[in-house]
Amino acid sequence: MSQREWIEKDFYKELGVSSGASQDEIKKAYRKLARDLHPDANPGDTRAEERFKTVSEAHAVLSDPAKRKEYDDTRKLFAGGGYGRGGFGPGAGGGFSQEFNIGDIFGGAGAGDGGLGDLLGGLFNRGGTRTSSRPRRGSDVETETTLGFREAAQGVTVPLRMTSPSPCTTCHGSGAKPGTSPRVCPICNGAGVVSRNQGAFGFSEPCDECRGSGSIIDDPCVDCHGSGIQNRTRTITVRIPPGVGDGQRIRLAGQGEAGLRGAPSGDLYVTVHVSQDKVFGRNGDDLTLVLPVSYSELVLGTTVSVPTLDGRVGVKVPPGTADGRILRVRGRGVPKRGGGAGDLLVTVKVAVPQKLDGEAVEALKRYQEAERASGFDPRAGWAGA
Rounded least distance, CB 172 to Zn ion, Å: 8
Rounded least distance, CB 313 to Zn ion, Å: 59
* Cβ nearer to Zn ion, comparing 168 with 268: 168
* Cβ nearer to Zn ion, comparing 60 with 207: 207
* Cβ nearer to Zn ion, comparing 224 with 287: 224
DSSP 102-113: HHHHHT----ST
User: Which is nearest to 164 in space by CA: 82, 223, 109, 234?
Assistant: 234
* Cβ nearer to Zn ion, comparing 120 with 258: 258
Q: Would you call 276 helix, strand, or coil by DSSP?
A: coil
Rounded least distance, CB 63 to Zn ion, Å: 36
Rounded least distance, CB 215 to Zn ion, Å: 8
* Cβ nearer to Zn ion, comparing 154 with 213: 213
β-strand pairing of 302-308 with 311-317: antiparallel
Rounded least distance, CB 14 to Zn ion, Å: 42
* Cβ nearer to Zn ion, comparing 28 with 177: 177
Rounded least distance, CB 107 to Zn ion, Å: 40
User: Which is nearest to 78 in space by CA: 5, 28, 132?
Assistant: 5
Give the residues lining the site for Zn ion (CB under 5 A).
168, 170-171, 185, 187-188, 207, 209-210, 221, 223-224
Looking at this protein, which amino acid is placed at residue 10? D
Residue 158 exposed, middle or buried by CB count within 10 Å (0-12, 13-18, 19+): middle
Q: Would you call 44 helix, strand, or coil by DSSP?
A: coil
* Cβ nearer to Zn ion, comparing 170 with 180: 170
Q: Would you call 184 helix, strand, or coil by DSSP?
A: strand
260 φ, ψ (degrees, to nearest 5): -75, 135
Rounded least distance, CB 274 to Zn ion, Å: 40
Give the list of residues 6+ apart from residue 2 with CB closer than 8 angstroms, or none. Answer: 134, 135
Rounded least distance, CB 137 to Zn ion, Å: 25
Looking at this protein, which amino acid is placed at residue 197? N
d(CA 79, CA 336): 47
Looking at this protein, which amino acid is placed at residue 382? W
Rounded least distance, CB 92 to Zn ion, Å: 30
d(CA 248, CA 252): 13
d(CA 99, CA 380): 70
Q: Are 177 and 359 in contact (CB under 8 A)?
A: no
* Cβ nearer to Zn ion, comparing 111 with 216: 216
For residue 210, what are the CA distances in angstroms to 10, 19, 184, 230, 345? 51, 56, 9, 21, 67
* Cβ nearer to Zn ion, comparing 35 with 183: 183
